[in-house]
Structure 1
Amino acid sequence: MKAGTGPLLSTLLGLLFLSMPGTRGANPALVARITDKGLAYAAKEGLLTLQRELYKITLPDIRGDIKAIGRGQYEFHSLEIQNCELRGSSLKPLPGQGLRLAISDSSIGVHGKWKVRKSFLKLHGSFDLDVKGVTISVDLLLGMDPSGRPTAAASGCSCRICDLDVHVSGNVGKLLNFFHNQIESKLQKVLENKVCEMIQKSVTSDLQPYLQTLPVTAEIDSVLGIDYSLVAAPQAKAQVLDVMFKGEIFNRDHRSPVTTPTPAMILPEDSKQMVYFAISDHTFNIASRVYHQAGYLNFSITDDMLPPDSNIRLNTKAFSPFTPQITRKYPNMNLELLGTVVSAPILNISPGNLSLAPQMEIEGFVILPSSAREPVFRLGLVTNMFASLTFNNSKVTGKLHPDKAQVRLIESRVGMFNVNLFQAFLNYYLLNSLYPDVNDELAKGFPLPLPRRIQLHDLDFQIHKGFLYLGANVQYMRA
C-alpha cells in the first residue's frame, strides 16, 4: 500500500471479506461482523499509517504579486511537511452506505523557503507554517461487482484547517505583512486540497485493486472447493458492519448447484471482541454431502492395515470365531471389509453441543484365488459422536469423540454370525486406527481467510443453535 487509507481500509475490509452457499441475495452461510471496538482499532491503525503518508505529500510552489508599495512578486517554494500529529480518529458505520472516517484535533508543521523581487530589490529567507485544528472526513461507499468481489469508492472528502500561522525569517521588515493573510489563505487551500487528493487517490489506486485480489473460489483440500463471493454488499448498521458471504462448498472436479437453502442466522449482540465470524451448520453439512457423494467417507480394511500384534487377522481362518462356516467354504483366503456411509452425516449444532450420528454398512468380501471379491456378509453400524472444535489465530480445527458402534446383522451367506464378537473387534479397530486418522485430518483445520499481517488473539468460541460464533481481537503486524 502506498497511500494512507490503504492499510487502514485493507486491514478492516480484509477482515470482512471471508467466505461461504446459495444464490446472490440468499442467506449467507458465513457472516463477518466488525464491532465498534474493531472499527476503533482500524481507525487507530489507519491514523498511524496516514500520519506517515502525509510526510510524502508534495506541496506546490506558491507565487503571487505584491501590490502594496509598488508592484513586485513573491514565491514560497521547497515546501516540506516537517511534523505531523494526528490525534483523534473514528471510523463509524453509515447505515445503508458504508463507513465514515473522521480525524480531528490534529496539527501539521511545514517548512519552506521564500523569495521576493521588487524593482531591483531581491530578498529571500525561510519560513515555518504552523497548521492547527485540522479535521478530515471521508465517506467510503461499500459495494460489490458482478463477480461478487467487494468494491470501495470515496464518495466525498473534506479537510478543514482552523488555524494557520506563517513565521517568516529574514530581514524583510514589514514588507511581507502586506500580503501575510493572502499567503496564509493560499497555503491553507493547498494543504486542504492535497490531503483530500491523497485520500481519493488511495481509494482508487490502492484500496480498490487490493480488494479485487480477493479470490472468488479457493481450494480447501483435494476434494472440496469454496466460493468466496459476497451475496450482498456489506451492510453498515448502527454499531456494526456485517459482510455476508456465499460460502458455497463444492466438488472441485464436478461442481453442481446447491439445492438446499441456507437457514437464516440471528446473531447475538456481543461487542466485547473486535470481530466475530458466524459459520452456519449448513456449511459443514454441504461439505459432508460433497464428501459423501465423492465416496470420500467410505473406507476399506485389509489384513495389511491391521497392527502386526493384532490377535485378529483378516483371513478366513482367523475369522472362524465370528462365522465358523467361512473357513470350510473358503479355506485359507484373505478378507476385505468395505465400510460405506449410508447417507451424509448431519452435524447438529445446538447451544453448547455438536453431535452427529453417522449410519454405515460394513460388507465383508472373500478375496478368491482369481483376485475377484465375493461378498459373504453385510452388517449395519450406527454410532453417536460428539465433536469438539478449537479456534486458534488462523483456523478452526475439530476432533471426533465417538461412542462405541452398535452392529446388527443384515445378511450372511456363510451361516451363523457372532455379531457381538465382531462388534468388539470393529470397535477396537475404529477407535485405534480409523478415528485417529480422521482426527488427524480434522486437525488440519478449516482456515479462516484473513488478510496479510493480521493475527487474532483473545479468542472466544460460542455454539448457538444452527451456527458457530467465533470472536477475536485483532492485531495488525507491521513489517
Structure 2
Amino acid sequence: MGNRSCPPPPAPTVAFPLPLSTTALLFPRRRLYRSQVPIRGLEVWAALEDMTWGPDNVRKWSTLALLAIMGTALTAATDPGFVAMISQKGLDFACQQGAAELQKELQTINVPDFSGVFKMKHLGRGSYEFYSMDVNRFYIPNPEIRMLPSNGLQLFIKGASIQINGKWKSKKNVLKASGNFDLSILGVSIFAELTLGSDPSGHITTNCSHCYSHIDSVRIKISGSMLGWLIQLFHKKIETSLKNIIYQKICKIVRNSVSSKLQPYMKTLPVITRVDDVASIDYSLVAPLTTTDQFLEGKLRGEFFWHGHRGSISFDPPVMRFLPNNDYMVCMAISDYFFNTAVLAYQESGTLKITLGDQLLSKDDRFQLNTDFFGKFLPKVAKKFPSMGVQLLISAPLSTHLSIQPSGLSFKPKLETQASVVLPNASLVPLFLLVLKTNASLKVDAEENRLVGEMKLGRLLLELKESNFGHFKVELLEDVINYLILTIVLPKINERLRQGFPLPLPEGIHLINFMIYSYQSFLLLEADLYRT
C-alpha cells in the first residue's frame, strides 16, 4: 500500500488482455516507491468512441479555485473514487496568483475628497481641502495563506504599502493657495478568512467570513505654495483622518473581490464533467474538507455514468492510503472504482463495440471480408451466399473488472466477434461467434490538464464459441483478425488516446513536472501547476 520506506520491487512490463471498445481509460504500468526511478509507462484498456471537451477559458482567481474544488460539500458518507490534495507549496502558488488579482482590486480604491479647518493663535481661522486623490500603487510584498482546521483558508498580508497622490487647496481670509501632495501609507496588514462550502446544486461557494486590516503610519508631503508649510503644521490631524478613510476601504475591497470575482468563477467549476456523447463524470464532493499541517484534501465521487441511465453501482470504492509528496503542488489519487464505473457506463450504453466491414479494406489487401474468402474454410457459406460481404462485430458483452496493483493494472476481459453475411437488402445472416483474448500495454504522458497515451497490442488468440455453418479451425482466422486489429482498430484507439482524458482542474490551470505511481487499487499523480 505504498510504504515508501521499503526497498523498491522489480518493475516488469505488465501485459494483460485488452477489450476493443469505445472509450479510452488509462492505467499504470509500473512505479510504486519514491526511491524507484519513475517511468511514464502505463497499462491501458482502451476504446474508440469520440470524446469531446470544450476549450479552456482563462479567468481571474482561477488558481484559488483549485483550492475550492477540494471543497466542503457534505453529502452521504462514502469512500471517494478520486482524491485531490494540495500542498503548502500549491497553496503558496495559489496565494501569489490570488494576491496579484487582489492587488489590482485594491488599486481601485476610491478615496473621497477630504476637507477641514485650522485655527492658530495670532493667525485666526482657515480651511483646507484635499481632492482628486488617486491610488497609484498598492504594493503587497509577501502574502501568506494557511489552512484552517475546518473548512477554510486564512490570508495574511504584512508590510504592504499604498502610494496616493492628489491636489490640495487652502484659504485664509483673502489668501488662497493650492498645490499637490503625496501620501505614503506604510505597514498595511490584512487578515482575511475564506470559508468554503457548497450550494444545493453542488457548486462550490466561498465568502470572506472575516476581515481585519491595520495601518502602521501615514506620511504626507505637501508641495506647491508658500502656505504649504501651514498645512504641514496640521499633518497629524490630516494623516489620521486619511488613515481612517483608507482603513475602512481595504476590507470592503477584499470582501467585494471575493464576492464579485472569486465566487462567480466558482460557478464555472462543473460538478458534472461531460466526457462525450455517451458518458459524464461525477466530480461532486462526498465529504467535508480535511486538513493537516501540510495538505488540504478533497474527496470527490469520481464516478462515470451513462447519459441514458444512471443506476446504482454494485461495487464500492477502495480505501486509498498514501503519503503525498509535499515537494509537489498537487496530487490526485485515482482509484480502480473510477475506471470500473467507466467500463460499466460504456457497457450499459451498448457502445463497447466496433463493426469491421469489407469497405474498410483497400483493394490491394491480401484478403477481403466476403464469402469468397470465408468459403476457404466454410465452403457452405460461399456456396449459399456467393460473393457477398461479411462483417465482423467486435464487442464486450460483459462488464470487465479492472484491478490496479503496485506492478500495474490487470484484468481479464471477454470479447466476442460475431461474423455475419451482409445480404443485398442489408439484413444479416449470422455465421459464427468467436471469443478473443489479447495482451496490451500503453505508454502514458501528460499534456497540460489531461492524460495522453499510445497503445501497443499483443497477438490475439481466438476460440470458436458457436457456428451456424459447421466447425472450423479458428487458427485459420487468427492472421486475418490480428491484421484488422493492428491496421484499423489500433490506429483509431491511439488517435483517441492522443486527444487525452481530462483531469478535474480549474480553467486556466495546467500540470507540469508530473509523476505517476501505481499503488494497491489506485494511481497517484503528483504534479506542479502553472496558469495561462
Taking structure 2 as the reference length, the TM-score comes to 0.80
Residue identity matched to 1:194: K
Q: Confirm whether residue 467 of structure 1 aligns to residue 522 of structure 2.
A: yes
Kept in 2: contact 1:356–1:386 (CA 8 A): no
Shift of 1:149: 0.5
Structure 1 residue 344 and structure 2 residue 418: aligned? no
CA drift at 1:292: 1.3
Q: Is the 8 A contact 2:70 2:296 kept in 1?
A: no
Structure 1 residues 200-209 or 466-475, which shifts more? Answer: 466-475
Counterpart Cα distance in 2 of 1:102 and 1:436: 53
Instruction: Identify the residue that residue 141 of structure 1 maps to in structure 2.
Output: 195
Contact 1:352 1:462 in 2 (8 A): no
Among 137, 153, 158, the residue aligned to 1:104 = 158
CA distance in 2, matches of 1:428, 1:49: 57
Residue 451 of structure 1 corresponds to 506
Q: Give unpaired runs (5+ residues) of structure 2.
A: 1-57
Distance 2:394 2:60 in 1: 52
* Structure 2 SS opposite 1:45: helix
Q: How many Å apart are 1:370 and its aligned residue?
A: 6.0
User: How many pairs align?
Assistant: 470
Alignment match, 2:477: 422
Query: In the TM superposition, what is the alpha-carbon distance from 1:177 to its structure 2 partner?
Result: 5.6
1:87 aligns with 2:141: yes
SS at match of 2:251: helix
Unaligned runs of 5+ in 1: 1-5
1:380-404, CA deviations, whole angstroms, 9 ceiling, x for partnerless residues?
A: 2222333333211121123333322
* Correspondent of 1:317 among 369, 372, 375: 372
- CA drift of 1:154 comes to 0.4
Determine if contact 2:324/2:331 at 8 Å carries over to the other structure: no
Letter in 1 for 2:241: K
Moved more, 67-76 or 334-343: 67-76
- Residue 44 of structure 1 aligns with an amino acid whose one-letter code is Q
Deviation (angstroms), 1:131: 1.9
Matched, 1:185 2:235: no
2:183 matched residue in structure 1? 129
Secondary structure at the aligned position of 1:357 is classed as coil
Structure 2 distance, partners of 1:51, 1:313, is 69
Q: What is the CA deviation profile of residues 159-209 of structure 1, one whole-angstrom value per residue up to 9, with x for unaligned ones? A: 211222222334347644653322222222222221111111111222112
> Is 1:43–2:95 an aligned residue pair?
yes
Residue pair 2:61, 2:261 contacting (<8 A) in 1 also = no
- Does the 8 Å contact 1:63/1:75 carry over to 2? yes
Q: How big is each residue's C-alpha offset from its partner over 1:14-72, in whole Å with a ceiling of 9 and x where there is no partner?
A: 465389xx964433323332211111122223333333333321112223343553554
Structure 2 contact 79–317 (Cα < 8 Å) conserved: yes
Taking the aligned partners of 1:336 and 1:86, their CA distance within structure 2 comes to 68
Q: Which moved more, 1:53-62 or 1:345-354?
A: 345-354
Kept in 2, the 8 Å contact 1:142–1:233? The answer is: no
For residues 204 and 157 of structure 1, the distance between their equivalents in structure 2, rounded to whole angstroms, comes to 13
Aligned-residue offset at 1:135:
1.4
Q: Does 1:252 align with 2:297?
A: no
CA distance in 2, matches of 1:151, 1:336: 53
Separation in 1, partners of 2:180, 2:199: 51
How many angstroms apart in 1 are the aligned matches of 2:407 and 2:457? 17
Q: Which has the higher contact order (CA 8 A, sep 6+)?
A: 2
Task: Show the counterpart of 1:361.
Answer: 416
Q: Is the 8 A contact 2:406 2:519 kept in 1?
A: yes
Further displaced range: 231-240 or 424-433: 231-240
| Amino acid corresponding to residue 470 of structure 2 in structure 1 | G
- The amino acid that maps onto 2:467 is S
RMSD of aligned alpha carbons: 2.9
Contact 2:449 2:509 survives alignment (8 Å): no
CA distance in 2, matches of 1:382, 1:454: 40
Q: Which residue of 2 aligns with 1:378?
A: 433
Rounded to whole Å, the distance in 1 between the matches of 2:372 and 2:62 is 66
Contact 2:294 2:326 in 1 (8 A): no
Q: TM-score, normalised by structure 1?
A: 0.88
- Preserved contact between residue 354 and residue 395 of structure 2 (Cα < 8 Å): yes
Distance 2:314 2:410 in 1: 24
Conserved? CA contact 1:250–1:287, under 8 Å: yes
Once the two structures are TM-superposed, the CA of residue 132 in structure 1 deviates from its matched residue by: 1.8
**Matched residue SS, 2:373:** coil
Identity fraction in percent: 36
Deviation (angstroms), 1:288:
1.4
Equivalent residue number for residue 219 of structure 2: 165
What's the CA shift for 1:360? 1.3
* Aligned partners of 1:149 and 1:230 also within 8 Å: no
Deviation at 1:442, TM superposition (A): 2.4
